[in-house]
Amino acid sequence: MDRRRHLVVMGVAGAGKSTVARGISAATGLRFAEADDFHSARNVARMRAGVPLDDEDRWPWLRALVAWMSACHGDGVSTVLACSALKRSYRDVLREGPSDVEFVHLAGRPALIRQRLDRRTDHYMPATLFDSQAAILEPLGPDEPGLVLDVALTPDELVTAAIAGLGLDRPF
C-alpha cells in the first residue's frame, strides 16, 4: 500500500457495523478492530445493565481508538474500525489521530434496525439502548469524508458499495 487509509464503519447498534467492517477487512486487507473491545469494564457493565453511556464515559474510549489507529498508521498499516461514532464531536476526536480517517455511515429505518437488535443474542448491549443511541446520532456532515449506505442492503452489498464508494477497489 502506498497510502495508508483509516475507515470507521459507524452507526447505531444493530446497523451491521461489525459485519461490514469485517467484510471490508477481508476484501481489502485493512486491519480490523471492534471498538467495543476497547471499552473499559465499567462501560461494559453500564451498557449490560441498560445504562446509556454519556460523553464522559466515551472520551477515554475514543482516545484509545485514536491510539490504536495511530499506532497502526505508524507501522504502515491501514485500518477499518467498527465504531458507533454517533456524534460529530466523537468523530472529531477520531480524526485527531491519522489525518485521513473516512467514515461509512450505516443508516436506515429504525424499525429494521430494531428488528435486528431484537434477534441479536451475542452482544452485551441490550436492544433497549437503541433509543438512546438514535436520539444522539448526528449524521455525517457535508464536510466529513465518507459516505452513507442504507442498511436495507445485504452485508455483501454494503461491503461492495463501501469499497467502491471509497475507492478501495483501486490501489491506494
By residue range, what is the domain housing residue 81?
Answer: 6-165
Mean residue pLDDT across the chain: 89
Q: Where are the alpha helices (DSSP H) in 16-172?
A: 17-28, 41-48, 55-74, 88-94, 110-119, 130-136, 155-165
For position 51, which CATH number holds?
3.40.50.300
The answer to whether residue 171 sits within a structural domain is no
Mean per-residue pLDDT for 21-48?
93
Determine, yes or no, domain membership for 172.
Answer: no
d(CA 167, CA 158) in angstroms, rounded, equals: 14
Whether 130 maps to a domain, the answer reads yes
Q: How confident is the model at residue 128 (pLDDT cuts 50, 70, 90)?
A: low
E strand or H helix that includes residue 80: strand 79-82
- At residue 169, the pLDDT reads 82
Determine the pLDDT at residue 13: 84
- The most distant pair of C-alpha atoms in the chain lies apart, rounded to whole Å, by 45
- Structural domain contains residue 170: no
For residue 92, is it within any domain?
yes
Is 82 contained in some domain? yes
Nearest residue to 69 (alpha-carbon basis) of 38, 42, 41: 38
Split into its structural domains, the chain has a count of 1
Grid cell at residue 69: 489507529
Mean pLDDT of 51-58: 87
Q: Please tell me the predicted confidence (pLDDT) of residue 3.
A: 81
pLDDT band at residue 111 under the 50/70/90 scheme = confident
160 falls within a domain? yes
Average pLDDT (150-158) is: 95
pLDDT score for 1:
41
Looking at 107-154, list the stretches that DSSP marks H as alpha helix, in order from N- to C-terminal side.
110-119, 130-136
Contacts of 171 (CB under 8 A, 6+ apart): 1, 2
**Residue 1: inside a domain:** no
Amino acid residing at 13: A
Average of pLDDT values for 111-125? 69
Over residues 108-115, mean pLDDT: 84
Instruction: Inform me whether the pLDDT recorded for 119 exceeds 80.
Output: no
